[in-house]
Chains A and B, each alone.
Chain A
Amino acid sequence: MSATPLVDFDHLKVRFKGDRTVHAINGLTLSLGQGEMLGLLGESGSGKSVTLKTLLRLLPPKRTEIEGSIRVNGTDIMSLSGRKLSAFRGSQVSMIFQEPALALDPVYTIGDQIAETVMRHKGISKTAAMDVALDMLTRVRIPSPERRLKAYPHEMSGGMRQRAMIALALSCRPKLLLADEPTTALDATVQIQILLLLRELQKEFGMGVIFVTHDIGVAVEVSDRIAVMYAGNLVETGTTRDVIKNPRHPYTRGLLAANLHGAVKGARLDAIPGSPPALETPPTACSFAPRCAHVRPACLAGLPPVADLGNGHTAACVLAAEHASQELKSA
């Protein structure tokens, strides 16, 4: 890649200390191109939300140990503090959450909240900022936006609140949007509206998006690329097409089967047995090995190699690496 990547995680490790230690992220290396939409897919405890929070420096510094580096547009964000950090948040990178009712301030109107952000980052007058707010509400297709500027969050429906939060997050035209399960709490018919809106705005503004979700169907609907996480690390990345049509890691295959898309009614599901590891110790072997149907001694001997399958498709799996080298030989 010739241009500077928008985001570059390099061997990121995040550890939470306290009554018990949790190794939440274990050596994550991942980059996001300018204007790219990446679906970060994983189950609860896989580290996908921690990745986003680390990127915005939202984790409590006293209880968190971070190793490795994160660069956004070439800037090491671990070096930021004070004013530089607050300028970074909101103007360069911004975030939307699963529960807009909790993320929005209940005692200010939507217009005031958006205007405050714009004034803070762009240093313009309140009147000008309100114009920006009105423009944003129109862009996220909130009906009668003039009236909604003066509305409080509780006066809006769930889907409308999510639109308002997107308007707030995008009001300063960030280069990068972090979306943490923004449609999980919404009804199916509203979810698809928000997904299509995000896809459209992403193109319009040319921003990069990291879209965290546990729903493989949602990830396919919005992303250019998909990264699958398990136990605090990547197991597979690639273009959406490659990952969905040609999954190489056994965990990705299991997830696809568990989605039940096209499952035969009543036939036994090919479920992944067991549950994810507790992460109290850093992994020394493949974290998925205890649940994997294809486990072999090499899987338990050390961390799995990251197999390069071409076209940016990678899988951290002993088997995938073997296949890849065999294909290379036969070619």
Chain B
Amino acid sequence: MSKTETDTTPAADRGGPHQPLIIASGLKKHFPVRSGLLNRQTATVHAVDGVSFEVKKGETLGIVGESGCGKSTTARLLIGLIELDDGSIIFDGDKLGSDISLKELRRGVQMVFQDSYASLNPRLTILDSVAFGPKLHGLKDPAGIARNLLGRVGLDPDRFAHRYPHELSGGQRQRVNIARALAMSPRLVILDEAVSALDKSVEAQVLNLLNDLREELGLTYVFISHDLNVVRYISDRVLVMYLGEVVEVGPVESIYETQAHPYTASLFAAMPSMDPDNRTEEPPLAGDPPNPINPPSGCRFHTRCRFAEGVCASRKPKLATIGGDADHLAACHMHDAASGHSLALKEAAE
């Protein structure tokens, strides 16, 4: 028992408590679109375009945005499932590629996906699935680690260890995926819409489990979701993405109280009101999100923004602090007095 315990102890903290666990800077990923007889590249999907952020030790960073905003691509870049076109990832002070290898990074960073069934091998029992990583990395007693973890996520190993994925319910399968992600004793777990496919009553159980595990194991989470209620409940900070760029980032309470970017404000206004006496009367935005193949110039939101002016189409706004909160940043010309946006000038005059 003591041996397995040493094997599942997370790697030592190297950078100290103030070193962010992950520093992502200028992440960029463009996918080519090929078509025609000669399969030539005809267009480019700007999936992630210069995304920078930090994840502090022990915090949960929520990433929100609509389909095509690049939140899942960002997650896949963080764990090296797809190659970066540009930018760098620093894990606890070590730069990926020069200081640590991808294999070393993946011992520290694990991921849980949305589709609990597709992400498990149907021919492996859940015990084998969970023990697979430890076995591959040459840890001692992989089966012991797996049984221990299955117990931890609430699946009695004596009853469940030898079942196959199709013999479990969706909630149980997602517990297996969480156990598998924890098998390498990671320090960071990326949860990509990990609870979105679950029924609400089961989702609440899994969220409780995630909170317990974070406390017990001192984990750090990157929690990607489109459900703002869930993000508010679980996150410490929130990052809002639109068409491959970060439009706003800040502490959860600060963002839920005042949304600095008009896109964030629309996203929040689109949430069902949960009050039959006070229903939403006007949709906050018209139309669908534009295609990331040819993103709009300047501020990418200007085509749907009701405050848009000339400067928004011509110049890209920078992510900068707004108001007094140094941790709350937004990329909008209305918060930059030097931009020439009429509303920004008004604010500066006051």
Contact = CB atoms under 8 A, between A and B. Distances in A.
A107 interface: no
Contact of B274 (A193, A239, A259): A259
Given A195-B280, A258-B204, A259-B200, 11 more contacts: A157-B288, A159-B288, A189-B283, A218-B272, A241-B276, A255-B200, A258-B201, A259-B229, A266-B233, A268-B208, A270-B204
Contact of B276 (A44, A158, A190, A220): A220
Contacts of B271: 188, 217
B204 A269 contact: yes
B286 interface: yes
Interface in B306-343: none
B326 to A, nearest CB: 21
Interface of A: 43-44, 143, 157-160, 187-193, 195-196, 214-218, 220-221, 239-241, 244-245, 254-255, 257-261, 263, 265-266, 268-273, 275-276
Contact of B283 (A43, A158, A192, A261): A192
A266 B208 CA distance: 9
A187 B233 contact: no
B273 A221 contact: yes
Nearest to B275: A220
Determine which residue in B169, B200, B273, B289 has the highest number of CB atoms from chain A within 10 A of its CB, and name it: B200
Contacts of B280: 192, 195-196, 221
Contact of A268 (B172, B211, B266): B211
B203 interface: yes
Contacts of A187: 66-67, 226, 288-289
Contacts of B270: 188-189, 191-192
B207 A269 contact: yes
Contact of B208 (A158, A241, A254, A271): A271
B208 A217 contact: no
B233 A258 contact: no
Contacts of B279: 220-221
A44 B284 contact: no
Contact of A271 (B169, B204, B233, B267): B204
Given A188-B66, A218-B272, A220-B274, A193 B204 contact: no
27 contacts: A43-B199, A43-B200, A43-B201, A157-B288, A187-B67, A188-B66, A188-B228, A188-B271, A189-B285, A190-B66, A192-B269, A192-B272, A193-B286, A196-B280, A196-B281, A215-B272, A217-B272, A220-B272, A220-B279, A221-B272, A240-B276, A263-B229, A265-B232, A265-B252, A266-B211, A271-B201, A272-B204
